[in-house]
Amino acid sequence: MFFETYKTELIISVVLIIFILITRLILKKLIYKLGRATNINDARIRLISRYTTVTLVLITLLVETFIFGAQLKDLALLFSSVFAVLGIALFAIWSILSNITSGVIMFFSFPYKVGDKIQIHDKDFPIEAIIEDIRAFHLHLRLDNGDLVTYPNNLILQKAVTLIKKDAIDEGSDAI
């Protein structure tokens, strides 16, 4: 009975899911290709790939609601209620979201790579260090004295940064 009633919607849903899976595969390959071409480490490539998959799933769920007959006014009421609750909850964790967004931006346009020695021009806490790792929320920076500093992604995009040496780790390992 259910399958007979919603036969057209189910066929459209199957086509949509196949389309989304193909789109996901293409986007995943493009992200990996871009990541490899720009020498980005695999962990960051996988992270951006996961973000893309989650975004596609959310888009698919939204389109599915329209396929099965939801009206725009019903969705507007649902989304306004959900966003009101999420807005209050997310206000408390805005810095986490800011760091995640910065991590995605850094994946596509960050001019520095793991191993580069950089100087961060911060009037309160200037840093000169080697980038040891780039994570979803922060950078791992190794100071000359051996200390490890974690620096938030959103701050690295807000500060002036100077490249001191490209691949300082590789040059340091050759001397040993």
pLDDT tens over the chain, length 176 residues: 777 888 888 999 999 999 999 999 999 999 999 888 888 888 888 888 998 999 999 899 888 888 888 777 777 887 788 878 777 776 767 777 788 888 888 888 888 888 899 999 988 888 999 999 888 888 999 999 999 999 998 888 889 999 998 876 655 444 33
What is the pLDDT at residue 95?
Answer: 74
Judge whether 158 lies within some domain.
yes
Judge whether 85 lies within some domain.
no
Whole-model pTM: value is 0.55
Residues 6+ apart with CB under 8 A from 58: none
Do the bridges between strand 117-121 and strand 148-152 make them parallel or antiparallel, or are there none, so unpaired?
unpaired
What is the pLDDT at residue 62?
Answer: 86
Q: What is the dihedral of CA 93, 102, 54, 16, to 10 degrees?
A: 130
Q: Domain check: are 7 and 64 in the same one?
A: yes
- 166: domain CATH number is 2.30.30.520
Q: Which residue has 């979803």 as its token pair?
A: 136
> 36 is in which domain, residue-wise?
2-70
Count of domains for the chain: 2
Handedness of CA 35, 38, 41, 44 (dihedral sign): negative
Judge whether 165 lies within some domain.
yes
